[in-house]
Structure 1
Amino acid sequence: MSEIVMEAKLNIGYRYYSCSESQLKLVNHGRSLPRRGRIFSSSFTLTLPIIKSSTTSPISKFSTLSPIIKFNTNFQCKRISAVADKVDDQETFSTNSVAKLVAIVGGESTSPLKNVPWEDVLIHTAAKLKWIDEGYNLHVLTESILTKQEKEAELVLAQTDILIIINVQHQDSVKWVLQNTEVIPTIVCFDCCPALQNKLGGLKVSNNNQTMIEKFLPLGQGKQIKESLEVLRTVQEAWGRNNSDDIWFSLLLLINSYIRPVPVLQNLRAKGFSTLYCMIKNCRTQLVDCLLDPNCREALVCLNKCAPTDQVCNYRCIASYESPKFEAFSLCVLQKHNCLGLNAEIPVKPNVQPLSFFRGSPLTHEVAEDLFVGWLGKLNSSWRVVAGQNPAYDQFPCQYQLFYRGKAKRTFWYEPVFQVKTLDGQLIWRRRRYRVKREDIPGTFIFTVLDNGVVSREFWRIVDVTDDLSWALFYYGGAAQAAGQSYRGAILVTPDGIWPSKNEAQRINSALERCGIKDWELFGVDNTCCTNAPLGIPEGSSLHVTLQLRDSNVLSCE
């Protein structure tokens, strides 16, 4: 009887598996084994008997976990939900919870994110909420739990500040939810039976987002109603963009509006007359020039229609209507005088670690820069982007990367070249220029760029690169401080813009996991029509120092 050993680390919110009729041995820092189905977190040793004839590999089932799990043969394991089979009110929310959210997911509903189950999407979102504050807790309940463990579910919901209901249609479930969620002040429904209604801060709001359902509201609530309708509109629009970042943003917005201020959303708050006074006092010429210029004026009109933290909408407006007048306006109003009073910092979580070894040797600064330079010299670009995670910055068609060393000593530059589909349907090329500086740890860098009058500062990490440079994964966290926006992202790159071989999927997914990213969060880049890209680097620039191009398949070390 052979044993298979694998290492894992179990985190709150992840799925795990239990074995019926099995003997589970757990060493959990001296604690006893939690009851079957309970979510727990710690390093441990777990012995699970597995049936030899099982058609599903037990290793694949544990691929998202990481303690020491030993398998022998006898019994069959089954998958259970991240939500406990028996809900316990004492363990649902920790004592440090400052925002208590629950999501109820109907049936076997799948999300529009590559048909991933909503349960998986929300469990991952729960982990991302803790990047902002460890006290933000989201628990996911499946519809079946409501009837199987009714009393326990009632106790959970009694502690809830915000409830999200997704695709609950069955009449028995609808009836149960209506009976047991009356005390929850904030409820938002998506794709649910019409009997389930939105409620924001205690006020019921119609699902068509046009009028209040409650009649005879006390005088003085008009402002609160208007604000609630605006919050609901923003949440529904963000949720409807069908990407994980906007789902995450929707929950943060609800926390910010009905529980406590969320620091990263501080720029949602209007600045009022002081902004206009600052612009007229310091940037009168730039303001007039912008209003008289058609492109600049259209940019302002477009931006005014975007939510302040909707980076997708904001950046598409900027990329569509960028012009010298708009850059001068932004440089004066935002960068020089900060008339909007905005601020933002580079996100510190997740703490993504860079590649530490390349081809069996410790990574050096010189080799790390050469990995960025990549195929430039043999091909007309360093890398081409295959997919990215950030919906605002990583999804543009035909993304070329140009990394090179400058004429001056120890200068290093990055120039992305990409297409933009403007709001009027045109396809145009854009190009940016970043200064790149080494950080203390090899494989980490600070990128800075002046983008349409606003300085962005980004912390990049080389997460993984194959020995033959067939693909690489780069991660970044950035902030446009004067614009009040912080962001994260990751890009998967190859020499030709074609997806890596399926044989590389496991390693790519492992690299993504280290960035806190699931593969279903990636946007594929359209590389089908990329003619006449404005490539090329300045005369006198240099490329590799340690790695030298020998042929089209490999970079060799000198």
Structure 2
Amino acid sequence: MAILLIDVPFLPSCTVVFCSRALRKDQRASQIRGFACSSTPCSVDEPSSASEAVARLVAFVEDEASSFLGQATWEEVMEHTAERLKWVNPDFDMFVVNEKFLLHGPTADVETKRIDQADIWIIIGVRNVEAVGWICNKSGNIQNVICFDASPELRNKLNGIYVPDRNVLTGLLTSFSGGDLKETLLTMSLVEEAWSRRNSDDIRFMLLVLIDRYVTPVESLKNLRAQDLSTLKCMIKNCSSQILACLSNSNCRKAIICLNNCAPTDQVCSYRCIASYECSELEAFSLCVLQKHNCLGLSAEIPSQPDVKPMEVFRGVPITHSIAEDIFVGWLEKLEWSWRVVAGQNPAYDQFPCQFQIFYRGAARGSLWYVPVFRIKTLDGRLIWRKRRYRVRRGETAGTFHFSVLDNGVVSQEYWRIVDVPDDLSWGLFFYSGAAAAAGQSYTGAVLVTPDGQWPPESEEKRVLAALDRCGIKSWELYNVNNAYCEGPPLELPKDVPRQRTSLWSEGTNITA
């Protein structure tokens, strides 16, 4: 999935935001059919000295307070976020502190240093009078303080500047202020937008924005920074005909205007614009500007963390490349699809209902293809089907695969792993990490799949949670996919595709469709 911003001088105040693979979730699976969330927060490695970290954060949270992420408390959420920050950079350190800790006071020098030497404080839900007083007394030398649902005595501060309360005047200040104050207001707006989307990825994104702006550059956020004049020169020199064609096409113009109204990081809004006005002119524009000529000068690599390992044994034998491909093809020999998505973790992937996965072997020897089919509600209220087509190649290790797709003019490369699938194929967990290099975007995620789109049986709870844990995913991070009202999906395969047969359905196998 990818978002990118391009200032377009041909339309007034217009910024183009292109998405690749930008599907998003709107329902979170707070539990898996009664599956209990772990109450034990993740352990986070502590540096021997707070000064060793490149970025130092402290999160103050209300005691045992529930978060907006299902059953998880804010302490659990922020402990897990601290671990996920280290996937971006192992030298990003976040210390999570609850009110009870504050009232008793730090008990070791290392704790005191981590609090006092922090670059950023995040305060969530803290209203206890004594805790608020402690924070107020200690926060004077902290340059960046962000508060959510906390006591009104606690104020937001960025780069040493107190942020004005949001009101009518704030918009005027943003428009007419210059220098540090304007940057402060714009950053605060971006932080609040990310928080309002209420998912674990955007909580981490919010923290990365603060680190990028006020502590140290974050490579994955470079596409949010302003482009120079060379971007415009590149577009005009290499893509003038595509620009003209786009501006001459009604749908392409509408897409650009629609995208301009989306927040830079709101992939739901962006993808709905593209899906609603999808046209060849828009794809040609992004293909020329981004993919062929890289006018934004962006790059991205597939994340190496978390390093999720594929399953090693299936039905009592070591998994091979052929067996792994058969698992992906899954139920296609018995049904019209391989798998249906029940839930997913990536907030840019699972909003849309009725997600079908089709894996099939092509006519060419050794070829494997992946076709996701999903439904989307357009801006004018229509329900339409969309599909994409990925080329799939075997990875070096059995159970791993390399995916590639051209989506809306941008190439995405992905690395998939089959994390776990029981012998009866009643469910599966697939983990992926990917990048759209020309868009400067990288991402990770996972999908929980079953043959019928229903949750795995409760008897599988322990195994499902263990598989999620190997991906560094908590059950409260999952989002439900709406699998109701899925009539008429376009599941047809190309005419030259041979009938799909796998070793999974050999005679004597005790599985029923």
Query: Which secondary structure does the structure 2 equivalent of 1:270 belong to?
Result: coil
Gapped regions of structure 1 (runs ≥ 5): 1-59, 65-78, 85-89
Equivalent-residue separation in structure 1 for 2:380 and 2:145 (angstroms): 37
Shift of 1:545: 3.9
Q: Does 1:547 align with 2:504?
A: yes
Partner SS, residue 141 of structure 2 = coil
Q: 2 CA distance for matches of 1:83 and 1:210?
A: 41
C-alpha deviations, 1:318-367, integer Å up to 9, x for none? 23322111111111111111111111111110011011110010111111
1:129 to 80, 85, 91: 85
TM-score, structure 2 normalization: 0.86
- Opposite residue 205 of structure 2, the aligned amino acid is F
Please name the residue that 1:165 is paired with. Answer: 123
1:243 aligns with 2:199: yes
Tell me the residue number matched to 1:203.
161
CA spacing shift, 1:293–1:535, aligned 2, 3 Å: same
Equivalent residue for 2:368, pick from 412, 415, 419: 412
Residue 301 of structure 2 corresponds to 345
> Does the aligned pair in 2 maintain the 1:344–1:479 contact within 8 Å?
yes
What is the CA–CA distance in structure 1 between the aligned matches of 2:72 and 2:41, rounded to whole Å?
17
Quote the residue 1:32 is aligned against. Answer: none
Change (3 A) 1:400 1:141: same
Q: Which of these residues, 269, 287, 292, is aligned with residue 225 of structure 2?
A: 269
Q: Which runs of 4+ in 1 moved over 6 A?
A: 60-64, 79-84
SS in 2 for 1:182: helix
Matches of 1:361 and 1:405 in 2, distance apart? 23
Matched-pair contact (CA < 8 Å) for 1:83–1:142 = no
1:473 to 429, 435, 453: 429
Supply the distance in 2 between the matched residues of 1:103 and 1:507 (Cα, whole angstroms).
32
Q: What does 1:17-416 align with in structure 2 at a 5 Å threshold?
A: 93-94=49-50, 96-149=52-105, 155-208=113-166, 222-416=178-372
1:270-312 residue CA offsets vs partner (Å, 9 max, x unmatched): 1132222211111111111112222212222233344545444
Deviation at 1:211, TM superposition (A): 5.7
Residues 243 and 209 (structure 1), Cα distance of their counterparts in 2 relative to 1, 3 Å cut: farther
Aligned residues: 472
Which stretch shows the higher mean deviation, 499-508 or 307-316? 307-316
Q: Contact (CA 8 Å) 1:200, 1:228: kept in 2 or not?
A: yes
Give per-residue Cα distances to partners, 1:135-161, cap 9 Å, x unaligned.
100011001111211686655421111
Unaligned runs of 5+ in 2: 1-34
Q: Distance in 2 between matches of 1:276 and 1:80?
A: 48
Alpha-carbon offset, residue 317 of structure 1:
2.9
CA distance in 1, matches of 2:264, 2:306: 24
Aligned to 1:530: 486
Distance 2:394 2:44 in 1: 44
TM-align CA RMSD: 2.7
Matched AA of 1:261: P
Instruction: Report the structure, 1 or 2, having the larger helix content.
Output: 2
Shift of 1:237: 0.7
2:457 paired residue number: 501
SS at match of 1:375: helix
Offset at residue 83 of structure 1 (A): 9.9
Distance 1:80 1:388 in 2: 21
In the aligned structure 1, how far is the partner of 2:321 from the partner of 2:115? 52
**What is the rounded CA distance, in whole Å, between the counterparts of 1:553 and 1:456 in structure 2?**
38
Instruction: Report which of the two structures shows the higher radius of gyration computed on alpha carbons.
Output: 1
Change (3 A) 1:344 1:62: closer
- After TM superposition, give the deviation of residue 484 of structure 1 in Å: 1.4
- Decide whether aligned partners of structure 1 residues 467 and 552 sit closer, same or farther in structure 2, where only a CA change above 3 A counts: closer
Q: Distance in 1 between matches of 2:126 and 2:43?
A: 19
Q: Which moved more, 1:101-110 or 1:308-317?
A: 308-317
